[in-house]
């Protein structure tokens, strides 16, 4: 599927993610920021699940975090579509109940073929849910 995407920009980032990351296909997200300084989305889970426990909630948060981290790579290198996650670590601090969240990522350091990003996941009322770090191998820039 990625063959139809030559470069990624703020105009096709969400569509690209929905087309290439199976678990994102049904995510309701709004792109807030797509810049070299970072990527930010608002993630709105299924309204029927908000306030309830869901065994996939943490997995969905990891997926949203990976999505914005990948977006940081694509902001700097729009052709690096084949880049891959090589390591992902997360610390979760709050809410095991499903809620609307803001997911923000920034690149902390990068080199020719390596990038390290951090991700913050917070509720809309600014409660910190998780902090994650992600490392990428940059391919095809």
* Structure confidence at residue 1 as a pLDDT band (50, 70, 90): very low
All structural domains of the chain with their residue ranges: 2-137
User: DSSP readout, 32-69?
Assistant: EEEETTEEEEEEE--TTTTTSB-TTHHHHHHHHHHHHH
For 119, left (φ over 0), alpha (ψ -120 to 50), or beta?
beta
Query: 4.10.1240.10, 3.20.20.100, 3.40.470.10, 3.10.129.10: which CATH number matches 2-137?
Result: 3.10.129.10
Residue pLDDT, tens place only, 34-66: 998 899 999 999 899 898 888 788 889 999 999
pLDDT at 2: 47
Give the number of other CB atoms < 10 A from CB of residue 45.
Answer: 21
Which is higher by pLDDT, 1 or 119?
A: 119
Average pLDDT, the chain: 89
pLDDT at 30: 97
């Amino acid at each position: 599927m990625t063959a139809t995407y030559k470069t990624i920009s703020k105009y096709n980032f969400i569509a690209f993610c929905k087309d290439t990351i199976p678990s994102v296909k049904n995510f309701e997200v709004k792109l807030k920021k797509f810049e070299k300084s970072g990527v930010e989305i608002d993630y709105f889970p299924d309204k029927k699940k908000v306030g309830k426990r869901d065994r996939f909630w943490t997995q969905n948060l990891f997926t949203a975090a990976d999505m914005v981290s990948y977006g940081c790579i694509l902001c700097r290198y729009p052709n690096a579509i084949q880049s891959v996650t090589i390591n992902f670590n997360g610390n979760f601090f709050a809410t095991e109940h499903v809620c609307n969240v803001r997911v923000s990522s920034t690149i902390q350091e990068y080199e020719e073929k390596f990038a390290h990003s951090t991700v913050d996941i917070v509720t809309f009322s600014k409660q910190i849910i998780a902090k994650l770090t992600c490392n990428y191998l940059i391919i095809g820039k």
